[in-house]
Structures are given as structure tokens and as C-alpha cells.
């Protein structure tokens, strides 16, 4: 019998990362976030082990007591703490040099207190570029017991119809001798928006009503004029395709040959991929979030499907809260791919698997046991 592999998740949000790690084979030992509606979503869909908590007031001792795991025994500690306060100008800077890195410091503190075998820290792709070099160096200084594996992942490579890029650092404790490798893409051909949305019926015409059979499938409240404007936009097009008489005032005198945020009033391509889904996906004015075939923005259900959430995953909260839970989530399929490689390393370390066939079979067995 393979042993149980356990995760603790910080800044868990609605559960995109947690769902992926669970599907990879990890048992959810604990998950916490300060956002109550997001935690409710997590509890209703994934685990009752999720709770509302402020990371600054939570100790490693509490989490170990909650899960019954001793220091050094936890398999993975994961999360996406905000770290906006790291600039490429700050050569030699430390994590504590900017107040905006406060939550990163709390994540680091909990890693030190828990001493997990692996940690996984997720953030925006920008941190994987020049700006992030100094962040990684500071992180190495803080967590000297870990080997870091930073990488920018394109979600489309892992089964999403979305080219969302995320910067993820996997940290492996130096006591783990088995190798970890950054997961290879799981698909050879990128999935399209049409493949993801083709089975969905249209949501009710009344924006106040959710589809009776499909959770969170509900129109945004859009003015008739904005619908009219959008009706002129072809797939892949944007505000420049709107006739002058119907354009916003700020677009009437804009130079159509350059600049001007081309994704505004953008319509998705049925046979293409969505760009990054953010919390503003229900508005034409915030990006390329127009349905490829219908004259409306994406519904929360459609955005969630493009993020890789299953169709029966229901988000709790008001419209604003649901939008941001979906937009802020780590795509579950990406989390699953990384989690599977971490689990593979742990199983090799335990001596449970030796070759590639055993790796695949062992991971399947562990994942099945956790369901």
C-alpha cells in the first residue's frame, strides 16, 4: 500500500491549485485564505479542511497540529503569495525591503517552520523575467535548505485553451536526493476555445438569472449600445472594427495604426486560444473577453472552463467575488502536471517506484486512493 502524500495550501483561493494537486495524488491536509467566499468555494468543491485565516497570524505549529504532521514530514506546502514589491532596480535587495512583500515573507516563514519536502510558490510570469532574478536570489538566501526550480509555464502546453503564463518556483529540500524535473507539456496540439465551449447552451437572456442546469452560467449586465458596438467585431478583432459613429469618444480620435489597447472590445477566436483570463472577463472594456460567436462577454462558467475547472465546480459569492476567484486561480491542469512530477520524485525517494512504467502506475494508484 502506497503511503498517503499530503499537501498544505496557503492563499488557496477557490481551489485551482488545490484541485490540481489533489488530482495528482495529494491528500488535502489543510488549506487557508483570508477571502471568505473563496474558502466557501473550496469547502463546497474540494475539502472541509479549508478555513479562513490570516497568514500573518498563522503558525507552522498550528498547521502541524491541525494536520497531525510533524516538522519535516509534510510532502508539499503550496500557495501564491502576492509579491508586487520586487523591482529589477533593487540589486542585492532582500525580501523584506518592500512592505508589499509582506505575504511572501509569511510564506517563507511557514516554509521554515514546517520544513516541507517540497514547496510550490506561484506568481505572475513577470517575476520569471529580469525583475524576478533578484527575487529568486533573495529567496535562495532565505531558504538555503532548498534547491529551487523556477520556470515560466504556458497553460496551453498543459491542456488549456488559454495562453496564460505563470511563474512557478518549486523548491525541493536538500534532504530529498531523488531528482525533480520540470514537467514537459502534456499536449502536442493546443486546445481551442471552440473545443471548450461547444457543448454549452446559451445562458438565459435575463442577466439576473443563472442557467437552471449549469452553475455560474449567467450573462453580464451589458448596455444595448455596447452590445451594438460589439456586434461589428469579427473573431480576433477589437475596437478598431467598430464603425466611427458607434465608437467610444476616446477611440474616435485614436490612431488605429498603433497602440490603443487592441484587446478592448476584443472577440475570441473559435479556433484559437484565449489570452489570460482575469477577474475582468465579463466586460468588453477590460480585454479580449467577447464570446467568439455571440454578442456578449464570457459568462463565469465559460471563463472557468477556459481556466480548466470542471463544469460542476460551483463558485460561491456575488458576481465580483466569483469573477476574481476564477481570474486569480491557478489552472488545475497546470497544477496537476507539476504536482505529478513532485509526487514522482517523492515516490522514487520512498523507493516505491523505480522505472517509468512504475512511476506512471504508482501515481495512478495514489491518485485513485485519494479520491
Question: Across-strand partners of 6?
Answer: 27
What's the full length of the chain, in residues? 371
Q: 194 Cβ partners below 8 Å, 6+ apart?
A: 270, 271, 292
Burial 66-92 (b: 16+ CB within 10 A, else e): ebebeeeebbbbbbbbebebbeeeeee
CA angle 324, 10, 299 (to 5 degrees): 20
188 vs 204: CA distance, rounded Å: 36
Classify residue 212 by burial, with Cβ atoms within 10 Å: 0-12, 13-18, 19+: exposed
Could you tell me the CA-to-CA distances from 105 to 63, 100, 110, 146 in Å, in that order?
17, 10, 9, 16
Smallest CA-to-CA distance from 222 within 163, 290, 156 is with 290
93 vs 272: CA distance, rounded Å: 41
What would the grid cell of residue 81 be? 503569495
- Catalytic status, residue 250: no
Dihedral pair phi/psi, residue 259, rounded to 5°: 60, -155
Query: Does residue 161 contact residue 192 with C-beta atoms inside 8 Å?
Result: yes
What is the CB neighbour count within 10 angstroms for residue 250? 10
Query: Does residue 25 contact residue 339 with C-beta atoms inside 8 Å?
Result: yes
214 vs 201: CA distance, rounded Å: 9
Could you tell me the CA-to-CA distances from 241 to 187, 247, 256 in Å, in that order?
34, 9, 10
**Out of 31, 69, 83, 334, which one is annotated catalytic?**
83
Classify residue 12 by burial, with Cβ atoms within 10 Å: 0-12, 13-18, 19+: buried
Burial 148-166 (b: 16+ CB within 10 A, else e): bbbeebbbbbbbbbbebbb
Residues marked as catalytic: 83
Amino acid at each position: 500500500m502506497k503511503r498517503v502524500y499530503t499537501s498544505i495550501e496557503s492563499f488557496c483561493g477557490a481551489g485551482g491549485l488545490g484541485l490540481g494537486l489533489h488530482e495528482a495524488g495529494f491528500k488535502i491536509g489543510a488549506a487557508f485564505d483570508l477571502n471568505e467566499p473563496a474558502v466557501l468555494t473550496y469547502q463546497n468543491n474540494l475539502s472541509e479542511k479549508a478555513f479562513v485565516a490570516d497568514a500573518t497570524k498563522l503558525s507552522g505549529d498550528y498547521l502541524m497540529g491541525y494536520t497531525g504532521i510533524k516538522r519535516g514530514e509534510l510532502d508539499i506546502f503550496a500557495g501564491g503569495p502576492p509579491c508586487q514589491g520586487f523591482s529589477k532596480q533593487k540589486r542585492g535587495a532582500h525580501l523584506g525591503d518592500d512592505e508589499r512583500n509582506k505575504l511572501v515573507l509569511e510564506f517563507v516563514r511557514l516554509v521554515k517552520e514546517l520544513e516541507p519536502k517540497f514547496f510550490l510558490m506561484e506568481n505572475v510570469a513577470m517575476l520569471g523575467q529580469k525583475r524576478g532574478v533578484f527575487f529568486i536570489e533573495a529567496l535562495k538566501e532565505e531558504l538555503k535548505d532548498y534547491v529551487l526550480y523556477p520556470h515560466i509555464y504556458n497553460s496551453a502546453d498543459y491542456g488549456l485553451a488559454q495562453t496564460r503564463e505563470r511563474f512557478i518556483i518549486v523548491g525541493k529540500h536538500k534532504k530529498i536526493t531523488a531528482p525533480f524535473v520540470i514537467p514537459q507539456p502534456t499536449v502536442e496540439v493546443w486546445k481551442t476555445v471552440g473545443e471548450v465551449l461547444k457543448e454549452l447552451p446559451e445562458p438565459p437572456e435575463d442577466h439576473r438569472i443563472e442557467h437552471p442546469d449549469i452553475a455560474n452560467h449567467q450573462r453580464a449586465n451589458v448596455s444595448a449600445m455596447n452590445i451594438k458596438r460589439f456586434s461589428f467585431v469579427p473573431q480576433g478583432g477589437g475596437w478598431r472594427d467598430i464603425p466611427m459613429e458607434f465608437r467610444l469618444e476616446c477611440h474616435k480620435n485614436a490612431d488605429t495604426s498603433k497602440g490603443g489597447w487592441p484587446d478592448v472590445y476584443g472577440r475570441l477566436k473559435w479556433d484559437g486560444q484565449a489570452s489570460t483570463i482575469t477577474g475582468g472577463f465579463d466586460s468588453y472594456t477590460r480585454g479580449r473577453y467577447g464570446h467568439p460567436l455571440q454578442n456578449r462577454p464570457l459568462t463565469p462558467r465559460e471563463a472557468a472552463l477556459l481556466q480548466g475547472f470542471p463544469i460542476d465546480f460551483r463558485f460561491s459569492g456575488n458576481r465580483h467575488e466569483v469573477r476574481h476567484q476564477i481570474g486569480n486561480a491557478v489552472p488545475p491542469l497546470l497544477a496537476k502536471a507539476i504536482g505529478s512530477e513532485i509526487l514522482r520524485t517523492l515516490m522514487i525517494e520512498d523507493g516505491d517506484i523505480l522505472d517509468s512504467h512504475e512511476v506512471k502506475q504508482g501515481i495512478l494508484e495514489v491518485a485513485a486512493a485519494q479520491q
